[in-house]
Structure 1
Amino acid sequence: MEFAHLIKSPRVEKVVVHRSLHKSVEGVLCITGHHLIFSAGGENPDEFWMIHRIIDLVERKPNTPPAAGGTLTLKCKDFSIISFDFHNTEELSNVSASLECLSSIENQSLYYPFFYQPVYTAIEDGWTAFRPETEFSKLVMQQQEDWRISYVNKDYSVCSSYPSAVVVPKGVDDDILVAAALFRVGGRFPVLSYRHEGGAVMMRSSQPHSGPNVKRCREDEKLLNSVLKPGMRGYIIDTRHQSTTPTPKSKGSGGFETESHYPQWRRIHKPIERLQSLLESLSKLVEACLDNGSSMDKWLSRLESSQWLSYVKETMNCACLVSQCIDQETAAVLLHGGEGLDSTLAVSALAQVILSPDSRTVHGFEALIEREWIQAGYPFVQRHHRSALSNTVSRSKENAPTFLLFIDCTWQIMQQFPCSFEFNEGFLLQLARHSYWSQFGSFLGNNELDRYQLQLSSKTVSLWSHLNRPEVLRSFLNPLYEPNNRVIWPSVAPMSVNLWPAMYLAYVVEPNIYNNAWGDIAGICELDKELRSKAQRLRRQLIDLERDAISKGLLDSPSSIGTVFD
């Protein structure tokens, strides 16, 4: 397909743009295959580029005849709203039709990452930075005799949404895995997600095909029981509502693990909303945030009725329960919801943020995103095709902001433990935004099979290659960071969960006040480091002078002067 066929008016002059927190200006609007470009000259030169995939909804409002022209409004996935005033009705119609087509292309090979050419040389290849074989030793630590990497899914025939390599108990052979996959929705049999330093493990899967006759699968039972040591119990944390669980069972399409077949496992329901409910909630939240005319009472009412913060709290609460079972009870946990693609991954990733100090570092968090979201088969393209400002007509039942929910939960924990994270909120904002639109290929594809068929590693640039460049990474480091090797326990009380201003109010409240404050903090921290360094150099000089004086007989014994700077 040629992009030129979709662009009816590649250049339009005398267009007036209206953006929040910016003055309205007149300029030239240009449309290319992947970007909308607006340039304003004169006394106040201005230029901005918009990648087409950031557009969530295109709205066209022609002026009432005989007046020509009209207004084109673009509602974006970063929750910004940009309007363009046209003097010509035909140009308005052409630009609107072009942007509707260009922002809705479904063929991923036509997305911008396949055309993007970086102007820098990558220090490391992000596509090979987090291979399963590399992460395996970190995941199981010193217990490699209990676990192994299985390539039973090397051709993706066992489970199309799983990667080619998964970590499973060493005592379970591949035949058992195949049988267990047939028992689980989508073939997502239980695999290792995390192993705690005390030996307790977290596994994740999809719901079982127990069906109306409550059928069993001995291979699935053996797979789960193989992670339990003698006298040990496990917990099955189900993120579905208990009232809805019998529904898939009655249809024969799903169900739950029956206690009589899994006597060593206790099932607990910790419901988390998913898919359409989450997207509707986010839409209500964003609409409330963009309404500058609300009174205080109305704003608080709309914030509460959106239920977004309640869903954040529920997700954090479930992750804390999983973490408690693992850390305080040294129990094994199997985590799943329905398909094991949304709430399952959100909770498994968030529990690791709580439990693992490594997941709170830049490299460790990148590995977590890669392992628990990208490689685990979260369907980014399906979920992020539409976001909060789209309308119900353009949405599908596959659209959902589950990954954004996880990012929000991580930010909540960062607010409670501001010194325990190596990265700042800007890092989280970048990850959330690149997951919806990007010049990089890391979040393309719905699973590893998709990425293999698209040849992303050879045809696109990895986001990690960009973020890990020293000059880029420097801006995402937390100046208050002090390594914390302990488990961190966030509060899930309602008053502890807050609205994230930089995410949801970025186009309503001027962000400079936050940026300037963090800039001052970073400057103070740099000055503190410099003073500490100078103090250490002075200490060493004093010790050297002391030793020299003792050797020359000018001083009988060392004084305490060298310890002043300790």
Structure 2
Amino acid sequence: MEFSEHIKTANVDDVVLKQPFHAPMKGTLCVTGHHLLFSDRSGDSSWQLLLLLRNIDAIEKSVENLLGYSSTGSNIRPVGSSGTITIKCKDLCILQLDIPGMEECLNVARSIEALSSLDNVTEMYPYFYRPSWLSLDDQWGLSTLEKHYDQLGALQVKWRLSNANSDFSVCPSYPPAVIVPQSVDDQMLVKAARFRQGGRFPVLSYYHQKNGMVILRSSQPLTGANRKRCKEDELFLQAVMDGSERAYIIDTRSAQQAQQARMTGGGFESKSCYNSWKRLHRHMERGKVLQESLIKLVEACGDQSHSMDRWLSKLENSKWLSHVHSALSTAGLVAECVERDGHSVLVHGSEGTDTTLLVCTLAQLILDPESRTLKGFLSLLEREWVQAGHPFQLRCAHSAYSHTRLRQEAPVFLLLLDCVWQLGRQFPLALELGEPLLLRLAREAYASDFGTFLCNNEQERCVLEVKDRTHCLFQFLLRSSEREHYVNPLYEPTDLAIWPSVQPQSLHLWTGLFLRWSDHTQTMEEVREEIWSIVTQHCGRG
């Protein structure tokens, strides 16, 4: 279907736009296949608003008749109509359009609703985005798992690169190459994959160069009510031990949830079959609970009428900071097992595509100085989220305002970015990446000009030729012209681990995101620019 078939009215004049930080403006509204374009015609004709339709989470519309007196002056009758469209965006911005004419208003609203909800990936804007300064021949992505493996010299003695999943037949949500123990052959991998949900057998996530310990990730074992076993899976984890007396399994479900999973075919590793592995449960919410938490938080942040007590109550009831606490404390536990206790760790929940990736990523930020650089962090996201199969298309279909609630939605990636912000706040010199990068990534995950966050896994990206037909966000952010906007001007590298505090007084609301469109955040942006100016002026850093 052509985009034009969805556009009922393409242009409307004398529209009034109301948005944060700007006085109301009158101009022309244009609806295109992928954008809303507003041109100011009242004063500064060069001012424009370009809004990606994919960024629209919900719209609300209202219309009314305009009343006036008849020509004789004796009767009141309708003399026209107007309408208002309120646009609520996935980046939490709220815009209002006052449109003359009821029919025009309804047509624009229908067009926006249709075009903002297209779910065919190849119809989305990244497939049409062709800026003159980018080429489809540019390198797509920062690295491959093969290159990552080559950089881990000491690892190669006991670990190997397997291409058993080169055609995605072993695990649809894994990349073509994975890192596994040398003693585990591909036939064992295939059998172990059948024993794990979605085929997500244990793979290497992180190698700790200081002591040779590793972090693995996987999905839950399919033990079921009959407590089924898999010799290959047991041998796999035994190979990881490599002579160690103990290792840990961190299950991101409660013990009760893990027990309940057995009734539907899932389960957990039994002590008798994995006797060297000690299982610890650290309950982390996911799915609908996490989505509802975001909705409550955004609702609280958007209501200006609260008293202090009411505001604090709604903030607490959203439980968002509780989820931040759970993620950071679980990641801290994993990092402590590896760094302080000298033991390897396997992390998994149910599917292994959400909280598992969240915990493994944060643990690496705590332990690994390279992951705290700008390029290292983007490479970490590419490896642990994009290549590792976080289903961005499903999880980020809607944000906090949508009236459509899909079962698969969950702001897990947003929670990760919040946790990284908390780390940056507690250790202001340790991360090279600054808050502007986190805000940019939060926006791009939900609506982007680039193809990096399209689809749910590498197999889908391969089928839809994402890497051939779209541009890479991470490569773009590292260009010299962009990079300076996203680095922390106070960055001072450290080889030490950074251990976050999860005490209640140490965790704060991420005002830069959740109060982004308030005057307070605008002021903080000016402060950030002033800090950057002082640092570059006195330290010669650019």
3-state DSSP of counterpart to 2:118: coil
**Whole-angstrom CA distance in 2 between matches of 1:341 and 1:227:** 21
Per the TM alignment, residue 126 of structure 1 is displaced from its structure 2 partner at its CA by: 4.4
8 A Cα contact 1:126 1:464, kept in partner: no
Per the TM alignment, residue 337 of structure 1 is displaced from its structure 2 partner at its CA by: 0.5
Per the TM alignment, residue 511 of structure 1 is displaced from its structure 2 partner at its CA by: 3.0
> Would the alpha carbon gap of residues 64 and 306 (structure 1) be closer, same or farther in structure 2, given more than 3 Å must change?
farther
8 A Cα contact 2:16 2:25, kept in partner: yes
Letter matched to residue 223 of structure 2: S
Per the TM alignment, residue 20 of structure 1 is displaced from its structure 2 partner at its CA by: 2.3
**Whole-angstrom CA distance in 2 between matches of 1:354 and 1:346:** 13
8 A Cα contact 1:289 1:508, kept in partner: no
1:435 aligned residue = 445
Matched, 1:145 2:146: no
Letter matched to residue 275 of structure 1: G
1:559 aligned residue = none
3-state DSSP of counterpart to 2:37: strand
**Whole-angstrom CA distance in 1 between matches of 2:310 and 2:492:** 41
Letter matched to residue 99 of structure 1: I
Alignment of structure 1 residues 25-40 onto 2, 5 Å: 25-40=25-40
**Whole-angstrom CA distance in 1 between matches of 2:106 and 2:200:** 47
> Would the alpha carbon gap of residues 135 and 363 (structure 1) be closer, same or farther in structure 2, given more than 3 Å must change?
same
8 A Cα contact 2:134 2:471, kept in partner: no
Alignment of structure 1 residues 258-297 onto 2, 5 Å: 258-297=270-309
Letter matched to residue 16 of structure 1: V
**Whole-angstrom CA distance in 2 between matches of 1:451 and 1:123:** 15
8 A Cα contact 1:290 1:508, kept in partner: no
2:485 aligned residue = 475
1:13 aligned residue = 13
8 A Cα contact 1:335 1:344, kept in partner: yes
1:70 aligned residue = 83
2:365 aligned residue = 353
Alignment of structure 1 residues 148-163 onto 2, 5 Å: 148-163=160-175
**Whole-angstrom CA distance in 2 between matches of 1:238 and 1:149:** 26
Matched, 1:318 2:334: no
Per the TM alignment, residue 62 of structure 1 is displaced from its structure 2 partner at its CA by: 1.9
Deviations 1:8-47 (A, max 9, x none): 1000111112212221122111011110011112235431
2:3 aligned residue = 3
* Farther-moved stretch of structure 1 (67-76 vs 473-482): 67-76
Letter matched to residue 428 of structure 2: P
Alignment of structure 1 residues 145-184 onto 2, 5 Å: 145-184=157-196
Matched, 1:423 2:433: yes
8 A Cα contact 2:56 2:89, kept in partner: yes
8 A Cα contact 2:205 2:384, kept in partner: yes
3-state DSSP of counterpart to 1:414: helix
Deviations 1:453-503 (A, max 9, x none): 111111111112211110110111111111111111010101101011111
Per the TM alignment, residue 69 of structure 1 is displaced from its structure 2 partner at its CA by: 2.3
1:117 aligned residue = 130
**Whole-angstrom CA distance in 2 between matches of 1:373 and 1:353:** 14
**Whole-angstrom CA distance in 2 between matches of 1:423 and 1:56:** 28
3-state DSSP of counterpart to 2:358: helix
Identity %: 45
Deviations 1:269-294 (A, max 9, x none): 11111011111000110111111111
Per the TM alignment, residue 401 of structure 1 is displaced from its structure 2 partner at its CA by: 0.4
Matched, 1:249 2:259: no
Per the TM alignment, residue 89 of structure 1 is displaced from its structure 2 partner at its CA by: 1.0
Per the TM alignment, residue 75 of structure 1 is displaced from its structure 2 partner at its CA by: 0.9
> Would the alpha carbon gap of residues 125 and 362 (structure 1) be closer, same or farther in structure 2, given more than 3 Å must change?
farther
**Whole-angstrom CA distance in 2 between matches of 1:104 and 1:509:** 31
3-state DSSP of counterpart to 2:256: coil
**Whole-angstrom CA distance in 2 between matches of 1:522 and 1:86:** 41
8 A Cα contact 1:126 1:463, kept in partner: no
2:253 equivalent among 240, 243, 246: 240
1:41 aligned residue = 41
2:319 aligned residue = 307
2:75 aligned residue = none
2:58 aligned residue = 57
8 A Cα contact 2:136 2:469, kept in partner: no
**Whole-angstrom CA distance in 1 between matches of 2:167 and 2:245:** 35
5+ long unaligned stretches in structure 1: 533-566
**Whole-angstrom CA distance in 2 between matches of 1:130 and 1:232:** 35
1:327 aligned residue = 339
Alignment of structure 1 residues 205-220 onto 2, 5 Å: 205-220=218-233
**Whole-angstrom CA distance in 2 between matches of 1:163 and 1:231:** 29
Deviations 1:55-95 (A, max 9, x none): 00121222268562221111110011111112211111111
Per the TM alignment, residue 429 of structure 1 is displaced from its structure 2 partner at its CA by: 1.0
Matched, 1:414 2:420: no
TM score, norm. by length of structure 1: 0.91
**For the pair shown, which has the larger CA radius of gyration, 1 or 2?**
1
8 A Cα contact 2:374 2:433, kept in partner: yes
Letter matched to residue 187 of structure 2: D
Per the TM alignment, residue 209 of structure 1 is displaced from its structure 2 partner at its CA by: 0.4
Deviations 1:415-456 (A, max 9, x none): 011101111100111111111111111111110001101111
**Whole-angstrom CA distance in 1 between matches of 2:329 and 2:244:** 28
**Whole-angstrom CA distance in 2 between matches of 1:442 and 1:527:** 35
2:387 aligned residue = 375
**Whole-angstrom CA distance in 1 between matches of 2:388 and 2:85:** 39
Letter matched to residue 458 of structure 1: D
TM score, norm. by length of structure 2: 0.95
**Whole-angstrom CA distance in 1 between matches of 2:30 and 2:155:** 58
3-state DSSP of counterpart to 1:405: helix
Deviations 1:254-311 (A, max 9, x none): 0011111100001101111101111100011011111111111111111000000110
Deviations 1:368-390 (A, max 9, x none): 00000000000101111111111
3-state DSSP of counterpart to 2:36: strand
Deviations 1:326-361 (A, max 9, x none): 101110100000100110010111111101000000
Matched, 1:107 2:120: yes
**Whole-angstrom CA distance in 2 between matches of 1:396 and 1:488:** 37
**Whole-angstrom CA distance in 2 between matches of 1:122 and 1:413:** 35
**Whole-angstrom CA distance in 1 between matches of 2:308 and 2:123:** 45
5+ long unaligned stretches in structure 2: 67-77
2:147 aligned residue = 134
**Whole-angstrom CA distance in 2 between matches of 1:222 and 1:142:** 22
**Whole-angstrom CA distance in 1 between matches of 2:508 and 2:374:** 23
**Whole-angstrom CA distance in 2 between matches of 1:55 and 1:524:** 37
**Whole-angstrom CA distance in 2 between matches of 1:410 and 1:215:** 39
8 A Cα contact 2:217 2:348, kept in partner: yes
**Whole-angstrom CA distance in 1 between matches of 2:247 and 2:453:** 34
Per the TM alignment, residue 411 of structure 1 is displaced from its structure 2 partner at its CA by: 0.4
2:70 aligned residue = none
2:514 equivalent among 488, 501, 504: 504
3-state DSSP of counterpart to 1:72: strand
3-state DSSP of counterpart to 2:274: coil
3-state DSSP of counterpart to 1:244: helix
Per the TM alignment, residue 128 of structure 1 is displaced from its structure 2 partner at its CA by: 4.6
8 A Cα contact 1:122 1:465, kept in partner: no
> Would the alpha carbon gap of residues 123 and 13 (structure 1) be closer, same or farther in structure 2, given more than 3 Å must change?
closer
2:71 aligned residue = none
Per the TM alignment, residue 243 of structure 1 is displaced from its structure 2 partner at its CA by: 1.8
Alignment of structure 1 residues 516-535 onto 2, 5 Å: 516-530=526-540
Letter matched to residue 368 of structure 2: S
